Amino acid sequence: MQILRFGGTEEVKKIFLEIGVDPYGIKIMLPKTDAFLIRLKGVNHVGANILKQEMLAQGADAAIARGSLTGNVKKTDVLLIGQSAQFKSLIAKLKLQPFGLSKLAAQLEENIENFSRDNFTIAFRDGPLNLKTRTAIMGIINLTPDSFSQDGLYRNFSHNYPDLALRKALAMVTDGARIIDLGGESSRPGAKKITVKEELARTIPAVRLLAKKIKVPISIDTTKPQVAQAAIGAGAQIINDISGLRDKQMIKVAARCKASVVIMHMLGRPQTMQKIISYESLIDDITAYLKKAIDSAQAGGISPDKIIVDPGIGFGKTAQHNLEIIKHLEVFKVLGKPILVGPSRKSFIGKLLGSDSEDRFSGTLAACLAAAERGASILRVHDVKAVNQALKITEGIKNAS
């Protein structure tokens, strides 16, 4: 006898095939193995009771506040408990219901579809980047004199820093990087802003050189539309904006240049983000922020299949917040976009381990593997080779028959 717990329907399908189940039987039974727990917040007690009855009618269930049954509690959270096949039937019935349930049905349908999606592909100049087969690694190259990780290549007296960046990029690609991310302005807590002119001087020569010499897409880490446009013109294909496209000019640049974008959540700005940290509900607040930014980006002409989201590890979060984000990373799948996570050498690792920045290597590996297991499509890291090797082992274990 085996008691089995699966991470997805593909593993169950393998068991069906091993047993020799009829293909039609697999089609009927597979949705019954795909279970969801869906929490709804602040539902009117009338709607909540209808949801309860409809779920029970499907052979599923819903948990609601005790007082909502009698009307003593006017609003309640609802935990829907069921299989994908049951939710499909529920959605069809809710579309015909009043009390806002028809709108809820549309949201459920979209979110379940997004949550179940893992076949992301982003088109680039030298071919598509498939994010389904394995987690992609984005290698970090800092063209700054004041990087928090002390790996900045740029110095005012260094005339060959583009060559240094190229050597580092080539090594990263050999080690498994599928994207190279170049940044010319430090985003560490309390970092001082630099001028557009200075950031252009730091980044564009390196972007131009790397674009000629490496085959993987180049990302420009910037919040300045002028820098983004110049970098795309020099050969970059991704705009990695830690400010979440707050500057509407950035949306115009990305749309006009047909660039991919990384939309990140940040509370405040680098200069102030760690001074006042307050959330009503961490995961919900980040999700709402990213959803609004996605809608704005798409309305501004950015193609939906060119958008990547990043919950912003370390940007206006406490150490505990960062751990919570990684633990619940799968929740962000409802946005329907590839998820990028950047835990590499961040201070929360040092705080948790009680060590300084030079001792964050093992903690970074653990955070990266946990993020990949929970749905990260892209990992932004300094230590490409080590993370790539660790991913190969975990993916080998996951795919073992």
Catalytic residues: 346, 380
d(CA 344, CA 352): 14
Please name the amino acid found at residue 177: A
Contacts of 71 (CB under 8 A, 6+ apart): 45
Residue 43 near residue 76 (C-beta atoms within 8 A): yes
Beta carbons of 345 and 382 less than 8 angstroms apart: yes
Dihedral sign for Cα 23, 27, 28, 33, please. Answer: positive
CA 77 – CA 198 distance, rounded (Å): 51
- Output b/e per residue, 208-238; b: 16+ Cβ within 10 A: bbbbeebebbbbbbbbbbebbbbbbebbbbb
Helix axes 384-399, 161-175, angle to 10 degrees: 20
Q: Are 216 and 178 in contact (CB under 8 A)?
A: yes
Q: How far is CA 255 from CA 2, 291, 294, 303, 307, in A?
A: 52, 18, 13, 8, 11
134: DSSP letter: S
**φ, ψ for residue 331, nearest 5 deg:** -60, -35
Q: Which residue has the tokens 């989201």?
A: 309
Give CA 122 to chain center in angstroms.
14
3-state SS, residue 312: coil
Residues contacting residue 372 through CB under 8 Å, at least 6 positions apart: 135, 379, 391, 394
Q: Of all helices (H) and strands (E), which one includes residue 48?
A: helix 45-57
